[in-house]
Amino acid sequence: MFAHPVRSLCFNRCAVGRIANFSSVAAMASNKFRLPDKYQGLEKNVWVEFIQLALENKPVNLGQGFPDFAAPDYVTGSLKDVVTGPDVLLNQYTRGFGHPRLIAALSKLYSGFVGRNINGATEIIVTVGAYEALFCSIMGHVNSGDEVIVIEPFFDCYEPMIRLAGGVPRFIPLRPKRKEGVVHASDFVLDEAELESMFNEKTKAIIVNTPHNPLGKVFTADELQTIANLCQKYNCLAIMDEVYEHMVFEGQKHIRMATLPGMWDRTITIGSAGKTFSVTGWKLGWAYGPAELIRNLQVAHQNAIYTCCTPIQDAVARAFELEMSRLSSPECYFNSISVELQTKRDFMVKFLKEAGMVPVIPEGGYFMLANWEPLAPKLLEHLKDEPDPELDYKLVKWMSKHHKLQGIPPSAFYCADHKNLGEKYIRFCFIKEDENLEKAAEILKHLKLTLDSRL
């Protein structure tokens, strides 16, 4: 049978109309529903990219900053007790700004650390990780056009958070004063004149991370006092990222900016249960400071997350209660974790040197930068097929794919104009099982032998 000519004509016109209408809708969607302007330029994320790389290549992962061993039994056991215990309300919503039991524990702990009574109801907020505490600190204080000083290298979320708030990040790098021999994190310093030149009437805040990621630098009292003096002179905030506060090695001391004269009223201090108790997947953090500053964080928090996971908050509170009963004991996790990490740090220093790299020896935290420049003449020919413009990106991807060892490229922790400062380094994490650190040592040893044999 032949198609009816009139019906065929009607069908074709309708089909053409539908196609045209679909094209019109698609065109509209491509514009109307595109990524909002505030996120333009923020699409790339080093963690998204390199977590996927690790999933694809199954390397020994010294890139991501998480322990690959079990957290203390009393920490994970507390969560089990909370979830399966008789108080069924602990599986329901709790107070938006922090679970009462956890707020009480944090108030007691930090009141002792800073030497003043911290009001848990008004001077502490519990957040979804230190990440959200940073986000609320910035969103709650930064207006369009405000400037925020960022010390490089920096944890990569600082810059996008400032830009999302409408602020303007101003970057100043820590520069190495020692170029040869044994290099320590303390050798990376701020130039005081350069630092003061960053401050002006538009400056709203400076973000300081101590102990520092990725350098492992523990800022000294004099360095913090210099920053404090400028904050007071130019009337701005100090946002203190102190998530590695308990991971400080022998001969070093963590000093809290909030304890310096005149700084309590202008300091927001951020902490992390994930870092403190080696449970990064629990995503629980907090901030403390004067009520008038914390109130701004609360407003940002209540209009986004509102409340955090109740069972995890209660479990962390129980862990803190135990630790506060033995703060001066070697058994306290706040004390024992540094001893454990220092041994791992020293082993990593040893095998990086043997591999021909120059490690930057950290004073705290659980990351280490290694300068791979001495190996560059032998390595560069192998990296030419990797498309990234930054050499450290090329190196990390090549090592993950071909040698099954993964780090993180430090140029991700610098602004666009300063990425060259990070390219000659690779960041490794040493809060890992000894077995995996030994595997990494063997991989690097084999890599060096391979490179040497091709001379």
Class assignment of domain 73-324? Answer: alpha beta
Query: So what's the pLDDT on residue 6?
Result: 46
Encoding tokens for residue 177?
């004063």
89 to 97, 267, 313, 314: CA distances (angstroms): 17, 35, 13, 11
Q: Output the CA–CA distances (angstroms, integers) from residue 378 to 118, 241, 385, in the order listed.
A: 56, 38, 15
Cβ atoms of 428 and 348 within 8 Å: the answer is yes
Q: Which amino acid is at 104?
A: A
Polymer length in residues for the chain:
455
Q: What residue spans define the domains of the chain?
A: 46-66+332-453, 73-324
What is the DSSP pairing of strand 147-152 with strand 405-406? unpaired
**CATH no. of 46-66+332-453:** 3.90.1150.10
- The pTM assigned to this predicted structure is 0.92
Classified as helix, coil or strand, 309 is: coil
Q: What pLDDT is attached to residue 77?
A: 97
pLDDT by 10s per residue, the chain, length 455: 445 554 454 445 555 555 556 555 555 557 889 999 999 999 989 999 999 999 999 999 999 999 999 999 999 999 999 999 999 999 999 999 999 999 999 999 999 999 999 999 999 999 999 999 999 999 999 999 999 999 999 999 999 999 999 999 999 999 999 877 899 999 999 999 999 999 999 999 999 999 999 999 999 999 999 999 999 999 999 999 999 999 999 999 999 999 999 999 999 999 999 999 999 999 999 999 999 999 999 999 999 999 999 999 999 999 999 999 999 999 999 999 999 999 999 999 999 999 999 999 999 999 999 999 999 999 999 999 999 999 999 999 999 999 999 999 999 999 999 999 999 999 999 999 999 999 999 999 999 999 988 65
Residue 6, amino acid: V
75 CB-contact burial (10 Å; exposed 0-12 / middle 13-18 / buried 19+): buried
Return the pLDDT at 268.
98
Domains 46-66+332-453 and 73-324 agree in fold: no
Question: Number of C-alpha atoms within 13 angstroms, CB side, residue 408?
Answer: 29
